Amino acid sequence: MTLKVAVLVKQVPDHEATVRIDGDGLEIEERWVTSFFDEIAVEAAVAVRKAIPDAGLKAFSAGGKLAVEALRRAMAMGVDEVEQVGDESLEGASGLSVARALAAALARWQPDLVLCGKQAGDDDMGAVGPMISALLGMPVVGAATSLAVDAAARKARLTRSVDGERWAVEAGLPLVVTAEKGLAEPRVPVVMRVMKAMRAEVPAVSLAELGVEPATDGVRRLGYFGPPERPEVRMVESVDELTRLLRQRGVLA
């Protein structure tokens, strides 16, 4: 095995799912999908393995039932080996707690390349990938739009979009890369792979085995607040009517 590639995935609410604030928590319609940017990372990881056939490829996800579903999606997209990290205690945990659990699992497998989405599709925090790089002592290249790995030279060449510019980056392995749009186009899994993934056993490693506490950083959510109600929208049919209304409200003299 010339190269070991890890990819991180997370299950998030479908963007069309109904979300309501219920007291200090959230009530989310049971519609879940793998985070969009994580699917890009999975497709990029599969492409690396296609370019380097003897590379090892393994997906990791932290949490309980939702983590299992994200891993099954990764398997349907072409990942052969997966590992569930921790349990339901990580659902809703802070990004640092999740990063610590994933970093401990990755340290046991010792990947050369770690791929993940640039941000999750629920909180958009974009912190877990960089946190893992810091915990593992690996450099990180964020928001990559292309990736080419030279396993023999232990290097990766990447591009990333920064404020309208395209930057070319060369980095040594091991390396953490977060995926941006354009890095890969996520495939729609074929039915046979989906069925195979649904039947496959998903290995799990407990937080106790990793020596990690579920929440040791002292960060907790105090509550949720919805956006303010939108003001009434009134359609006008002419500039004269608009001018009259603005004068009534004191906007125009």
Q: Report whether 19 contacts 27 (CB < 8 A).
A: yes
Q: CA dihedral in degrees (100, 59, 133, 210; nearest 10)?
A: 30
Q: Smallest Cα–Cα separation from 59: which of 51, 44, 130, 50?
A: 44
* Overall fold of domain 4-218: Rossmann fold (3.40.50)
Helix (H/G/I), strand (E/B), else coil: 95: helix
**Per DSSP, what are the bridge partners of residue 59?**
7, 82
Print pLDDT tens along the chain (253 aa).
689 999 999 999 887 878 788 777 777 788 889 999 999 999 999 999 999 999 999 999 999 999 999 999 999 999 999 999 999 888 878 889 999 999 999 999 999 999 999 998 887 788 999 999 999 999 999 999 999 999 999 999 999 988 888 899 999 999 999 999 999 999 899 999 999 999 999 999 999 999 998 766 666 777 788 788 888 888 889 999 999 989 988 888 7
Where do the structural domains in the chain lie, given as residue ranges? Answer: 4-218
Beta strands at 175-179 and 25-28: parallel, antiparallel or unpaired: unpaired
Dmax over CA atoms of the chain, in Å, equals 76
Tens-digit pLDDT profile for residues 181-233: 999 999 899 999 999 999 999 999 999 999 998 766 666 777 788 788 888 88
CA pair distance 251, 236, nearest whole angstrom:
16
H-helix segments, the chain: 36-51, 65-76, 95-109, 128-136, 191-199, 207-210, 239-248
Alpha-carbon distances, residue 178 vs 67, 80, 164, 228 (angstroms): 19, 21, 18, 33
Please write down the long-range contacts of 24-31, taking CB distance under 8 Å and 24 or more positions apart: 24/222, 24/223, 24/224, 25/224, 26/224
pTM, entire model: 0.85
Residues 6+ apart with CB under 8 A from 164: none
The radius of gyration of the chain's CA atoms, rounded to the nearest angstrom, is 22
